[in-house]
Amino acid sequence: MAADWITCIKRAWTEQDFDHDGEYFKIKGGFLLPKPVQQPHPALINAGNSEEGRAFSAQHVDFNFVTIATKEQARGLVTDIHQRARKHGREVGVMSYGLVCCRDTEAEARALYQRIVDEGDWEATHNIMNLLGVESSSFNEQIKQFGERFIAGWGGFPLVGTPEQVVTMMKELADLGIEGFILSWLDYYEELKYFGEKVLPLMKQAGLRI
């Protein structure tokens, strides 16, 4: 259904008075005005780690947004998504997300991360993980790690350490093919100031920002 829908949307962005006879949507004389400023259309992002999600991204969008647990997993997802897209004669980028806990010392950064985990709502976290099908008695330690990441940043990759360590981790992920990364913090008001002063200059030096 999503594939049929996005086909209609792309046609509406690029064609005028088109007919579409799909499995789920049927359109006669379809049109959309004004057309997008971006040509041929805005960048499209799909969030999907599953087999179906990656297959959809390979055929229909510009970027696949994934959840990554390890750098090894990131490498595998990037390779898989690129290979799938090329089978359709396309190029699809990969993006992800994570929590930033950055302080002058690694000990301070890890203490902040641990405080977030310790004070988190574990009952709510387990409920969410159950709904998402993450829970499994066979992987208790892994489930605990997933739980910590859900509390800290909705399952995102943790960037914990000094400004130099955080930028090194970002560069490693970028080198693996992660082209974009959504960042979150515990306290945006205070931590964004610190990030702008201490981390952004290092990101520019590393070629991660213009």
pLDDT tens-digit map of 90-123: 999 999 999 999 999 999 999 999 999 999 888 8
pTM of the model: 0.84
Question: Domain spanning 43-205 has what CATH number?
Answer: 3.20.20.30
> Helix, strand, or coil here: 121?
coil
Task: Tell me the C-alpha distance between 196 and 194, whole Å.
Answer: 5
Helix 71-87 and helix 51-60, axial crossing angle in degrees, nearest 10: 50
CA distances from 111 to 62, 104, 108, 185 (A): 38, 12, 5, 14
The 10 Å Cβ neighbour count of residue 185 is 17
Q: What is the pLDDT of residue 169?
A: 97
Look at the alpha carbons of 128, 133, 137, 142 in this order and tell me if their dihedral is positive or negative.
negative
Confidence (pLDDT) at 123: 85
CA angle 70, 99, 139 (to 5 degrees): 40
